[in-house]
Amino acid sequence: MIPGPFSYHRPSSVADAVKLLVSLGDEARPLAGGHSLIPMMKLRLATPEHLVDLHGIAGIKGVRRDGSTIVIGAMTTQHDLLASEMISKSLPILHETALVIADPQVRYRGTVGGNVANGDPGNDMPALMMTLGASYTLQGPGGTRSVVARDFYQGAYFTSLEPGEILTAIVIPAPASGHGYAYEKLKRKVGDYATAAAAVVLTMSGGKVATCAIGLTNLSETPLLAEEAAKIVIGTGLDEATLKKAAAAAEEIMSPAADGRGPIEYRKSVGGIMVMRALKRAAARAG
């Protein structure tokens, strides 16, 4: 449970961090909150020779409004999210989700940027970002670009990040006022990854669903957007039959692994249940 030897770097700007990552190559890893990387290093499943700590970089932490979007700096911690009034007001689903991520100690240290950039299918924020239509700002040797969350995830721990690139910010279009939302997470205990989780953001009009997006956590190699399921509920009043149909459509795209959280059949089944519960709760909240 002790990492192998490594060198530690603490750049003070994104440009310097990028330079370091480029010059040190494959053997370097950026370090944010460290809650995924450090345990892997302790088990020697990850053995980077260089750690590039992003904590010394000013300006990539904090939440701000930019027109119709909300911008979250990559080094913003889950605790910062929970403490942010802007988040509670404009993106309450982020608040609700951050509360079910690990435990307070982890949330003090774990960052939103690290959570979305690592590509761990068990992380809660990626599916949420897909649901919200967020995009990620990536800064690398070739300059700055933006990738939408829905295109970012390619496989377990495999993302659109190019060598030397750092995710510096998350840009989220502010959801319509009066939107309904819910993040339903089934987990074995505090601190665990989801056995299955579903994020729902919707708007209602005249008792019917007007718009809807559904994201799924830890039910495949990547976070999923359950587009078919969302389509099914639009225009309905979320009656039992529709909910079941939506759940079935969501289950269609799930391909979870069998692990200590349960066999595949179970994880898919409760994945459907989470979708139904999230839809119901979101609809009840919609103004």
> Would you give the binding string for another protein spanning residues 265-284, x where CB under 8 A is met?
-xx-xx--x-----------
Find the binder of another protein among 2, 45, 177, 241 (CB under 8 A): 2
Binding part of the chain for another protein, among 93-101, 111-119, 161-169, 183-191 by CB under 8 A, reads: 183-191
Nearest Cα neighbor of 94 from 165, 182, 162 is 182
Nearest distance in Å: CB 164, another protein? 29
* Binding track over 27-66 against another protein, x by CB under 8 A: -----------------x----------------------
Contacting another protein (CB under 8 A), which of 67, 206, 207, 260?
260
Q: How far is the CB of 86 from another protein (least distance, A)?
A: 28
Residue 206 touches another protein, criterion: CB under 8 A: no
Question: Residue from 179, 185, 261, 268 that binds another protein (CB under 8 A)?
Answer: 261
Residue at token pair 């192998």 = 4
**Contact pattern from residue 132 through residue 161 relative to another protein, giving x for each residue in contact according to CB under 8 A and a dash for the rest:** ------------------------------
192 lines the binding site for another protein (CB under 8 A): yes
- Token digits of residue 71: 């911008």
**Contact present, 119 and 158 (Cβ < 8 Å):** yes
Which stretch in 15-23, 157-165, 204-212, 257-265 sits in contact with another protein by CB under 8 A?
Answer: 257-265
- Binding residue (CB under 8 A) for another protein from 123, 168, 195, 222: 195
Instruction: Give yes or no for residue 186 binding another protein (CB under 8 A).
Output: yes
Is 1 a binding residue for another protein by CB under 8 A? The answer is yes
Q: Which residue is associated with the tokens 């939506």?
A: 246
Q: Which residues bind another protein (CB under 8 A)?
A: 1-2, 4-5, 44, 103, 186, 188-192, 195, 259-263, 266-267, 269-270, 273
